[in-house]
A and B are shown apart, each in its own frame.
Chain A
Amino acid sequence: MSDEFKIEIVNPEKSFLIKEDVLEVIVPAFEGEMGILKDHISIISFLKPGIITVLSKSGNEKFFVEDGIVEFKNNHLSILTSSIFNLSDMDNSKRQDLLKQAENEASKTEINDQSKYLIDQKIEVLRSLN
């Protein structure tokens, strides 16, 4: 019996990643990081800014996401996100850009606590990448 399952990451523009031989996925869920293995219970959760790690037979990949929804059902993991970057494609300048953008947003005063929390998370993650 294999312990592989299917992952599909989609953003509004296209299917970002489809893999059939995934062993484990670690997602930055809203209430903490969550590792998903085969035969996980059906779950819906949403993401905070962070790193998605995909461990598969054909190699491991890491992605930076800003938000998203995770749905796992019948060994099919779908991640919907509006902004996702492959870490290996992400160079320093891109990181700096995102960081600056996030810091700008964080300096605004009128945002509510939840978005403040999310932005702080984003800044933290981006800083830790540098």
Chain B
Amino acid sequence: MASLDDLKKRIASVKSTQKITKAMKMVAAAKLRRAQESAEKGRPYSEKMNNVILNLSNGISDKDNAPKLLSGTGKDNVHLCVVMTSDRGLCGGFNSNIIKKAKNYFNKLEKNGKDLKIITVGSKGNDQLKRMYGNKIIANISFKESKNANYFDAEKVGKMVIEKFNSEEFDFCTIFYNQFKNVITQIPQAQQIIPLKTERSKENESEDSYEFEPDEDEILSNLLPKNISTQIFKAMLENSASEQGSRMSAMDNATRNAGEMVDKLTIEYNRSRQAAITKELIEIISGAESL
């Protein structure tokens, strides 16, 4: 059995760990509120963008000459996957969930004999993927310096993706991120952004006739690259809210576990203290009796 002194030290150390996790939880909670707010504020933009593109692609006259970002390259060989993770750890299953989802997808692709290219956003994803897929990772982007997700960062990623698309380095592009549902639930998502899937929100918008200035094709070819950045930005916002939510619940658990541990150790400490006292008493009594 550990000595009283050792127990005391352990209790102190667990208590100070608990203090840290508690502080982290509170910081995450504060950040979560902000991240959630900006995710909500960012929603109208991407929704509107989607609607406009939907209207445009419905109105497009010549399907064969539609921009490649919409219709695809016509080939299906190289898949680009943008895996978006966090830059910091201690956030529960947040990163592993994305990675797991992405790895499943990678396996499927490889089984079908497709070529795979990976861009990782956030250093944690890079750390986890480089062991197995190191040779497939073509770029790693990390935004450690920027505090909140901002559009310029998203644009950087978007521009890079488009550049690579224009130089025909890939045919399909999918982004992986965690969708924020609530504090305890985040759903890892795989969203295909090139070619764009337009059918999913068809029901909420009746077809309207618009006047276009300049014509549809030109607007569309201007709009689609922007939409890529917008989608990536949306993913970044969702991701940052999810990260904080995930961290908050992870730290909440850690704090609770530390509390339980302190209780257990305290009981053990008291017991052994009592045992020592009893032992001493027995010694004194039996010493007195033998006299």
B209 within 8 A of A: yes
Convert B16-54 into 0s and 1s, putting 1 for each residue whose CB lies closer than 8 angstroms to a CB of A: 000000000000000000000010011011101101100
Contact partner of A14 among B42, B214, B222, B230, CB < 8 A? B42
Output the least CB separation between A72 and chain B (Å): 9
Convert B217-229 into 0s and 1s, putting 1 for each residue whose CB lies closer than 8 angstroms to a CB of A: 0010011001001
Would you call B42 and A12 a contact (CB within 8 A)? yes
A31 within 8 A of B: yes
Q: How far is the CA of A59 from the CA of B226 in the complex (A)?
A: 32
Would you call B211 and A14 a contact (CB within 8 A)? no
Output the least CB separation between B16 and chain A (Å): 39
Q: A10-B48, A31-B213 are in contact. Are A46 and B222 (CB under 8 A)?
A: yes
Interface size on B, residues (CB 8 A): 30
205-258 of chain B: CB within 8 A of chain A: 208-214, 219, 222-223, 226, 229-230, 233
Interface residues on A, range: 20 to 34
Would you call B151 and A12 a contact (CB within 8 A)? yes
Contact partner of A43 among B150, B155, B210, CB < 8 A? B210
Q: Is the interface of A mostly helix, strand, loop or mixed?
A: strand
B99 within 8 A of A: no
Q: How far is the CA of A46 from the CA of B219 in the complex (A)?
A: 7
What residue in chain A is nearest B236 (Cβ atoms)? A12
Chain B residues with CB under 8 A of A78: 48
Convert B192-213 into 0s and 1s, putting 1 for each residue whose CB lies closer than 8 angstroms to a CB of A: 0000000000000000111111
Q: A13-B151, A14-B38, A82-B151 are in contact. Are A30 and B45 (CB under 8 A)?
A: no
Output the least CB separation between B224 and chain A (Å): 12
Would you call A44 and B38 a contact (CB within 8 A)? no
Output the least CB separation between A31 and chain B (Å): 6
Would you call A45 and B230 a contact (CB within 8 A)? no
B56 within 8 A of A: yes
What residue in chain B is nearest A81 (Cβ atoms)? B45
Q: How far is the CA of A4 from the CA of B97 in the complex (A)?
A: 50
Which are the 9 A-B pairs with shortest beta-carbon distances?
A: A14-B41, A12-B151, A45-B213, A43-B211, A10-B45, A42-B210, A10-B44, A44-B210, A12-B45
Chain A interfacial positions (CB closer than 8 Å to B): 8, 10-15, 29-31, 34, 41-46, 67, 69, 71, 73, 78, 80, 82
Chain B interfacial positions (CB closer than 8 Å to A): 38, 41-42, 44-46, 48-49, 51-52, 55-56, 150-151, 154-155, 208-214, 219, 222-223, 226, 229-230, 233
Since A15-B44, A42-B208, A80-B49 are in contact, a sample of 11 more A-B pairs with Cβ atoms closer than 8 Å, ordered by chain A residue number, is A10-B48, A12-B46, A13-B38, A13-B151, A14-B41, A30-B213, A44-B55, A44-B210, A44-B212, A45-B213, A82-B155
